[in-house]
Amino acid sequence: QQQVKQSPQSLIVQKGGISIINCAYENTAFDYFPWYQQFPGKGPALLIAIRPDVSEKKEGRFTISFNKSAKQFSLHIMDSQPGDSATYVCAASKGNNRLAFGKGNQVVVIP
């Protein structure tokens, strides 16, 4: 059973545009929601994370929006650059425990 679901599966964005990736989760006990960036042949690298007591968190060009009632959270990449072309994977956990991951979204930024 997939506890975390991502959409869209892939995304093509022009340089300078906004990339938006969505995740939905099932388990209301989840209280930690990170986003990871992954390049081919590499492990996931933590980008940004949020807890459910805030609705938005911004770090540089990356923003997480969190909607507790809808059980959804999204990643916004502002001013997308070709170097942002990667797979973005959302995850969720209860406390400091194992992460449940989505399948990942491939983002391609075209010049």
Partner 1 sequence: DTGVSQNPRHKITKRGQNVTFRCDPISEHNRLYWYRQTLGQGPEFLTYFQNEAQLEKSRLLSDRFSAERPKGSFSTLEIQRTEQGDSAMYLCASSLTGGPQPQHFGDGTRLSIL
Interface contacts to partner 1, rule CB under 8 A: 4, 31-32, 34, 36, 41-46, 49, 51, 89, 91, 93, 95-104
Give the separation between CA 103 and CA 99, rounded to whole angstroms.
13
First-to-final CA distance of the chain: 38
The least distance separating partner 1 from the CB of residue 64, rounded to whole angstroms, comes to 14
Q: Which is nearer to partner 1, 41 or 83 (CB)?
A: 41
CB of 96 vs partner 1, minimal distance in Å: 5
Rounded to the nearest whole angstrom, what is the least distance from the CB of residue 16 to partner 1 in the complex?
A: 28
- On the 0-12 / 13-18 / 19+ scale of CB atoms within 10 A, 77 is buried
